[in-house]
Structure 1
Amino acid sequence: MYRTYDGIAAIALEGAPGHLLDLVSIAGLEQDLRTADADSEVTGILIEGGPEMFCGGLDLASIRSPEDSVELAAALADLLRVMPRLSKPVAASAEGDALASGASLLCCTDYAACRSGISIGTVEAGKGIWPMVAQVPLLHRVGARAAMENLASGIPFPAERARELGLVNIVTDDPRAAAVAWLRAASRGGEAARRGRPLAYHLADLDYDRALDTALTHFSSMFRKDHTT
């Protein structure tokens, strides 16, 4: 479900029990994200799930053939590529567990607030499967050493451990309020932040010297534009 209020585009994960992701729900979520990003009245994007489950991952029951599994994984990968390229700040409010690809979705947000007592992480290894796509945002967010604690065991992180590692920013009784408050603060960057957000994720993937050179180029470009308009 997509709705806007006071500059916030709230996207509620819906669908199968556990808010599992199939081709239809992934396409809908990607479209909602793009719609919010293109809306000049929107200053921040909030992704939220239900009280029992933020997102339980891919809907494996929807897979009928090997081709279906590849198509579903490719759709997930495309969604995970889109999120760092958005120009608006993105926050997650997790009232319930974020598991498997649900954890990777949460990892792709800029700010994540969750309730105490929930679990966050992949579960595939415990079922004899490796989370090939879902592992990527987790590895980028916390590094291989910390990520492997979950990836190899299939045991999700408790909320407090997820906070220690930086998977979530805050553990609170009201994650939605915390996420919205952060989005309000993040909206103050205006046009500069809209250019800076996707660049920040690009710089994080570069080596140190290349990141500085790229940042300098973008700074110079921004400075010239801001002083000629």
Structure 2
Amino acid sequence: MTELVHRNVEDGVATVTLDSPRNRNALSARLLADLDAHLRAALADDAVRVIVLTGTGPVFCSGADLKEQRDPDSAPVTASMPDVLTMIWESPKPVVCRLNGTARAGGIGLVTACDFAIAPDTATFAFSEVRLGVVPAMIAVPVLRRVNPRAAAEYFMTGEVFDAAKAVEIGLLNRAVPEDELDSAVRHYTGMLVKGGPEALAITKNLLRELPGVEFAEGLRRMADLSAERFTSAEGQEGIAAFMEKRPPRWVPC
């Protein structure tokens, strides 16, 4: 059976591609299982420093597979949307979403679980769930951590389509660029990310998630301890030595 997700590794970057254009890369049981497997493989591969999530065709991801939702016994479920969203959100390796096009509903959940998101300026977005009589439930968890609350309320409740410029404005995307600049924009991010220490990047991701909820004085105490620990760590010492010796650190892919 043909895989609905593919993975390619080059120069420390694993590109994981949704490849089910016939149904607009809908989140079928098969696609979720393949996506789960390829994400796990990328996370386990020491040669991979950064993960890029993208798709084929004019649509990045259209959300849930509605045909399967009408017949939930039509395909065995081996991986769940919560599992995939959690894996992306908690990944110690940075995840960059390269939107090849439009995203809808659950597809936007994948976008917001990633650390960075870049889309062509022609892409459109919509939380279409309420118009089907359902709710943007699971995806609300990452979306509400990225998107302006007023905007989230507006688009969750109206289902209105909005463009890439608005997606940047409300915090859904980092950048919207002309289609012919998409790959160079993604390389801009991945090229910078592979220069960071793997441990430092993983810890910084965790810091960004947890620190805003910590009381101010307690946060300073914890961060002072963390700063001292990282300066004396093997990775920190290698980074300092590389800077002083004017060479790339050992973790930068050749």
- TM-score bucket of the superposed structures, by smaller chain: 0.7 to 0.9
Greater relative contact order, per chain length (Cα 8 Å cut-off, separation 6+): 1
Identity, in percent, stands at: 27
Partner of 1:215: 223
Partner of 1:185: 192
TM-score normalised according to structure 1 size:
0.86
Alpha-carbon shift at residue 217 of structure 1 (Å): 4.2
Kept in 2: contact 1:99–1:122 (CA 8 A): yes
Partner of 1:23: 29
Question: Which of the numbers 150, 169, 194 marks the counterpart of 1:145?
Answer: 150
Partner of 2:9: 4
Partner of 2:65: 59
Kept in 1: contact 2:18–2:56 (CA 8 A): yes
CA distance, structure 2, for counterparts of residue 30 and residue 215 of structure 1 = 33
Alpha-carbon shift at residue 214 of structure 1 (Å): 4.2
Change (3 A) 1:191 1:93: closer
Alpha-carbon shift at residue 52 of structure 1 (Å): 1.1
Aligned to 1:95, the other structure's residue is in SS state coil
Is structure 2 residue 190 aligned with structure 1 residue 160? no
Amino acid at match of 1:187: V
Alpha-carbon shift at residue 56 of structure 1 (Å): 0.5
Aligned to 1:91, the other structure's residue is in SS state strand
Change (3 A) 1:64 1:178: same
Kept in 2: contact 1:89–1:187 (CA 8 A): no
Partner of 1:103: 108
Structure with the greater alpha carbon radius of gyration: 2
Change (3 A) 1:193 1:28: farther
**RMSD of aligned Cα (Å):** 2.6
Q: Which runs of 5+ in 2 are unaligned?
A: 1-5, 239-254
Question: Which of the numbers 186, 190, 201 marks the counterpart of 1:194?
Answer: 201
Alpha-carbon shift at residue 228 of structure 1 (Å): 8.6
Alpha-carbon shift at residue 64 of structure 1 (Å): 5.2
CA distance, structure 1, for counterparts of residue 108 and residue 26 of structure 2 = 12
Partner of 1:171: 176
Aligned to 1:141, the other structure's residue is in SS state coil
- Of stretches 59-68 and 164-173 in structure 1, the one that deviates more from structure 2 is 59-68
Is structure 2 residue 97 aligned with structure 1 residue 124? no
Partner of 1:48: 54
Q: Over residues 141-160 of structure 1, what are the superposed CA-to-partner deviations in whole Å (9 max), with x where a residue is unaligned?
A: 02422211210111232100
Partner of 2:250: none
Between the two proteins, the alignment pairs up a number of residues equal to: 227
Question: Which of the numbers 203, 210, 227 marks the counterpart of 1:203?
Answer: 210
TM-score normalised according to structure 2 size:
0.79
Question: Which of the numbers 136, 144, 150 marks the counterpart of 2:141?
Answer: 136
CA distance, structure 2, for counterparts of residue 208 and residue 147 of structure 1 = 26
Kept in 2: contact 1:44–1:89 (CA 8 A): yes
Q: Over residues 162-199 of structure 1, what are the superposed CA-to-partner deviations in whole Å (9 max), with x where a residue is unaligned?
A: 01112111111232321122011011112343332431
Q: Over residues 35-93 of structure 1, what are the superposed CA-to-partner deviations in whole Å (9 max), with x where a residue is unaligned?
A: 1122121121111112410000111211356789xx79x81112111112112111111
Alpha-carbon shift at residue 208 of structure 1 (Å): 4.3
Kept in 1: contact 2:24–2:57 (CA 8 A): no
Kept in 1: contact 2:148–2:170 (CA 8 A): no
